[in-house]
Amino acid sequence: MTFTLMTYLIFTLIILLPMVIKIMREYERAVVFTFGRFTSVKGPGLIIIIPLVQQIERVQLRTVVMDVPSQDVISRDNVSVKVNAVVYFRVIDPEKAIIQVEDYITATSQLAQTTLRSVLGQHELDEMLAEREKLNSDIQQNLDQQTDTWGIKVSNVEIKHVDIDESMIRAIAKQAEAERERRAKVIHAEGEMQASHKLLEAANVLSQNPQSMQLRYLQTLTEIASEKNSTIAFPIPMDILTPFIKKVS
């Protein structure tokens, strides 16, 4: 009789032991409920649970890397694009993550999709392509603010791809080409304006001294003669001929 009782007790202990003793890893926490009421958060290490009285929910505290599916976004300038992103988040309050939301991973995924569409829809296509760092920060702040009540910290959001329709790509290429032509014309016009100012300054300086003007003509004649031209047409300024005209008269 005693042997049978001991065997029964040992058998019962073997069955109940896994239900009583739980081991939480360093990155895990146990949210403990006693008769359905939240009691405490335990771990890491070895914890003891009263069978049939207490239940636990395991929560991981490691950063979760979640891929946000491609979303159809209408930009502020009415351009349709497909955008996907990746979200990095982790649980910082296990109690809220279990009690405040049914499935915090699914909830965060759905919220990330709606936030992505909402934030990007407030910006134009050029901003989506050129200001990704700012958009990443805006999405992260909006998402983190909303998940705070779930005990979740969104540490980073990265936009991966912005897919544009083929016709829109051609339109953007034409726009970029037109912008380059506009800049080239502006630079050329600015160069012409600067050159005209310099020529005007040079003319003013030369006009103050007639001898300087004559030296300039002679220098130009020398440069033309060095090119070995057979015929040279060179204008003679009236200032040079004036003394001869006076003597003849």
Question: Along the 249 residues of the chain, how does pLDDT read in single tens digits?
Answer: 556 777 777 777 777 788 889 999 999 999 999 999 999 999 899 999 998 899 999 999 999 999 999 999 988 888 889 999 999 999 999 999 999 999 999 999 999 999 999 999 999 888 888 899 999 999 999 999 999 999 999 999 999 988 887 766 666 667 667 777 888 888 888 888 887 777 777 667 666 666 666 666 666 666 666 666 556 555 665 555 565 555 555
pLDDT at res. 153 = 96
136 exposure class (CB count in 10 Å sphere: 0-12, 13-18, 19+): middle
Whether the model clears a pTM of 0.75, i.e. scores above it, the answer is: no
Which tens digit of pLDDT belongs to each residue from 24-45? 999 999 999 999 999 999 989 9
pLDDT at res. 207 = 67
Give the chain as a DSSP string: -HHHHHHHHHHHHHHHHHHHEEEE-TTEEEEEEETTEEEEEE-SEEEE--TTTEEEEEEE-SPEEEEEEEEEEE-TTS-EEEEEEEEEEEES-HHHHHHT-S-HHHHHHHHHHHHHHHHHTTS-HHHHHH-HHHHHHHHHHHHHHHHGGGTEEEEEEEEEEEEE-HHHHHHHHHHHHHHHHHHHHHHHHHHHHHHHHHHHHHHHHHHT-HHHHHHHHHHHHHHHHTTT-S----PPPHHHHHHHHHHH-
CATH of domain 64-169: 3.30.479.30
Please report, for the chain, the start and end positions of each structural domain, with discontinuous segments joined by +: 2-60, 64-169
pLDDT at res. 195 = 79
27 phi and psi angles, rounded to 5 deg: -95, 10
